[in-house]
Structure 1
Amino acid sequence: MTARWGMTLPLEGVPLREVPELARQVEDLGYSGIWSAEGTGPEGFTPLAAAAAVTSQIRLGIAVAPVFTRGPVLLAQTAATMASLAPGRFTLGIGSGSDIIVDRLNDIAFERPYSRTRDTLRFLRAALAGERVERAYETFRVGGYRCETAPEEQVPILVAGLRSRMLELAGTEGDGAILTLISAADAARVVPVVRGEDGARSDKEVAARILVAPTTDAERARAAGRRLLTAYLNVPVYREFYRWLGHEELEPVWRLWAAGERRQALGAVPDSVVDSLVIHGAPEQLREHLQRFVAAGVETPTAMMLDVGVDPRQALRDAAPR
């Protein structure tokens, strides 16, 4: 597969109103995709709609839309709308989200995340193909829906996966997987789960959202990365993911966090972990590190810029594919 380099918009610290101009630049600079994220910041579809209006070739994707916080039909409607705004260019990423986003922030029971993601994927396949859906899935029921604006071209659906069951779902029923907060070395272990140990699913795409600190000040990069990572590393689904990957060096971090020692937990995250999950350095070093993900089988490495006191607009230009 040919590697496709992506950039996450909006940029941290840059007003949302600048998304259209930044989208033009990203396309002109040779990036192959603009990806949005959805967590506690802006929702993920509106920035892509703004980008769709001012670009003509570049791919547009969301990584990811949680399957709990939008109803299945609303998610299908939103995806169909984006596919109509950018025919043949939109990719839908879906995932379960986390108990923090779903339960604590949205007061929705975070139950059976694998089954909910699987059912949503199956529903979206049918709905976006224009089929009338009247079906009781295991985790929800659709009482008769046909998408009036079903896209002419099939919308690729990528599944965000952390451990084997979700990664296998991404490879068997999805069009591929979206990885997040993962090192290049870990990606080399995860990619075969998606594509099959024998490579039988070699056509499945693997995308990865990669944290980028665009600075040569290693300590500043590590400080910014450590703050963000410590919060994520202690979210239950991510904690189990890193245990599954065999990161025993994080056990002290988890013990301190569970004991309420948040500052000590922050300091306990090893530099080696930060450096593997947050790439930093001069532009050529950033590109070289991104290439490690490509070598590990990641077809679509996508940078997510951190605010480290550098103008992210310039960093976007400096880190452009060569």
Structure 2
Amino acid sequence: MKRWGITIPFFDRTMAESKELVTELPGLGYTDAWSAEVSGTDGFVPLALAADWAPALRLGSAIIPVSTRGPGLLAMSAATLADLAPERFVLGIGASSPVIVERWNAGEFVKPYARTRDTLRFLRKALAGEKVTERYETFEVKGFRLERAPKVPPKIVLAALRPRMLGLAAREADGAITNWLSPQDVRTVRAELGPETELIARLFVCVSEDAEKVRKLGRRMLAAYLTVPVYAAFHDWLGRGEVLRPMHEAWAAGDRKGALDAIPDEVVDALIVHGDAATCRARIEEYVANGLTTPVLAPIATGEVPMAQAVRDLAPAASTSSPAG
């Protein structure tokens, strides 16, 4: 089955304002809707709403941090979604970042690989209805059992950027989620995962033919992400260490404008999909051809094309028909 996902909520509206557009998604050819969890909506409520509004969609979280909730609460939330959307919910978890875990949620960002691995192993048992009493490397659980385990445990996928976590996703999870990569980078990631593991990636898309406007916006987005240590390491591994060095040096010196200016056009063009809708769809297909199983589009409004129209124009059905505006 060819998958084609979208990010919810949409950038220009709240989830409460999204019902009509979410309801349209299956008819447009979208197969998946994936949430995020940073500082906007939480990762579960949008999926609970979408489960009712669009029963044909597969629903996934990309991602729920493993250190901002206790293991038991995370299992309860996942079980609730699995009950609302049987066999349609995919739980995406990951280490997240020190900013989100420590500065914003008063947690501890320690041993991110081990915490993710331990949470995955705990969730496998808990969501299967087992009573869990176990000391893991990063936490201990004593006597936890879900009051109502889901009839069908959800699949679990891991946020993974480099070989160690990608290897864990391939061995013990049902897939991997990645972010901020080019079509060519997909081949590098796929080589670590192997051919069978599902690979999911959020792709930032601007339906705009104003390349300079997109690049200006893209530089702000890229600087915010690629200066985070885990993403800096990811792009070092992908081979962009030297080309991004001037950005990192300017950022470290407190020169934010200099950091933005130091990001070359070719990096923005590699990591952000832009152009008219047909060009964007063709670019997304390049990701798929190189081994991406599930593209999850994140359309970004630039003011030229309304968000609802961009969602419709980027859909698989748009390549063969002309949806209403």
Are 1:224 and 1:306, in contact at CA under 8 Å, matched by a contact in 2? no
SS of the counterpart of 2:53? coil
Within a 5 Å distance, the mapping from 1:5-154 to structure 2 comes to: 5-154=4-153
Q: Matches of 1:109 and 1:69 in 2, distance apart?
A: 9
Amino acid at match of 1:307: A
Shift of 1:78: 0.4
Residue in 2 that maps onto 1:303: 297
Shift of 1:216: 1.4
Residue in 1 that maps onto 2:230: 237
Q: Matches of 1:153 and 1:107 in 2, distance apart?
A: 33
Shift of 1:57: 1.4
> Runs of 5+ in structure 2 lacking a partner?
318-325
Q: Matches of 1:24 and 1:34 in 2, distance apart?
A: 11
SS of the counterpart of 2:119? helix
> Runs of 5+ in structure 1 lacking a partner?
196-201
Q: Matches of 1:271 and 1:173 in 2, distance apart?
A: 38
Are 1:163 and 1:244, in contact at CA under 8 Å, matched by a contact in 2? yes
Q: Matches of 2:285 and 2:260 in 1, distance apart?
A: 29
Q: Matches of 1:167 and 1:20 in 2, distance apart?
A: 35
Shift of 1:19: 2.5
Are 1:214 and 1:305, in contact at CA under 8 Å, matched by a contact in 2? yes
SS of the counterpart of 1:108? coil
Identity %: 50
Q: Runs of at least 4 residues of structure 1 off by over 2 A?
A: none
Are 1:34 and 1:61, in contact at CA under 8 Å, matched by a contact in 2? yes
Q: Matches of 1:244 and 1:7 in 2, distance apart?
A: 27
SS of the counterpart of 1:91? strand
Q: Matches of 2:218 and 2:42 in 1, distance apart?
A: 22
Residue in 2 that maps onto 1:318: 313
Are 2:271 and 1:277 aligned?
yes
Q: Matches of 1:290 and 1:230 in 2, distance apart?
A: 23
1:287 to 281, 294, 297: 281
**TM-score, length-normalised on structure 2?**
0.95
Amino acid at match of 2:101: V
Q: Matches of 2:246 and 2:239 in 1, distance apart?
A: 14
Q: Matches of 1:28 and 1:150 in 2, distance apart?
A: 32
**TM-score, length-normalised on structure 1?**
0.95
SS of the counterpart of 1:265? helix
SS of the counterpart of 1:177? strand
Residue in 2 that maps onto 1:227: 220
Q: Matches of 1:283 and 1:42 in 2, distance apart?
A: 27
- Greater shift after overlay, 222-231 or 121-130? 222-231
Shift of 1:282: 1.0
Are 1:19 and 1:50, in contact at CA under 8 Å, matched by a contact in 2? no
Are 1:176 and 1:204, in contact at CA under 8 Å, matched by a contact in 2? yes
Q: Matches of 2:97 and 2:31 in 1, distance apart?
A: 28
Residue in 2 that maps onto 1:171: 170
Within a 5 Å distance, the mapping from 1:204-223 to structure 2 comes to: 204-223=197-216
- Alpha-carbon displacement from aligned partner over 1:247-298 (angstroms, at most 9, x marks no partner): 0200110011011111100111111111111101111111100011111111
Are 2:82 and 2:153, in contact at CA under 8 Å, matched by a contact in 1? no
Are 1:163 and 1:241, in contact at CA under 8 Å, matched by a contact in 2? yes
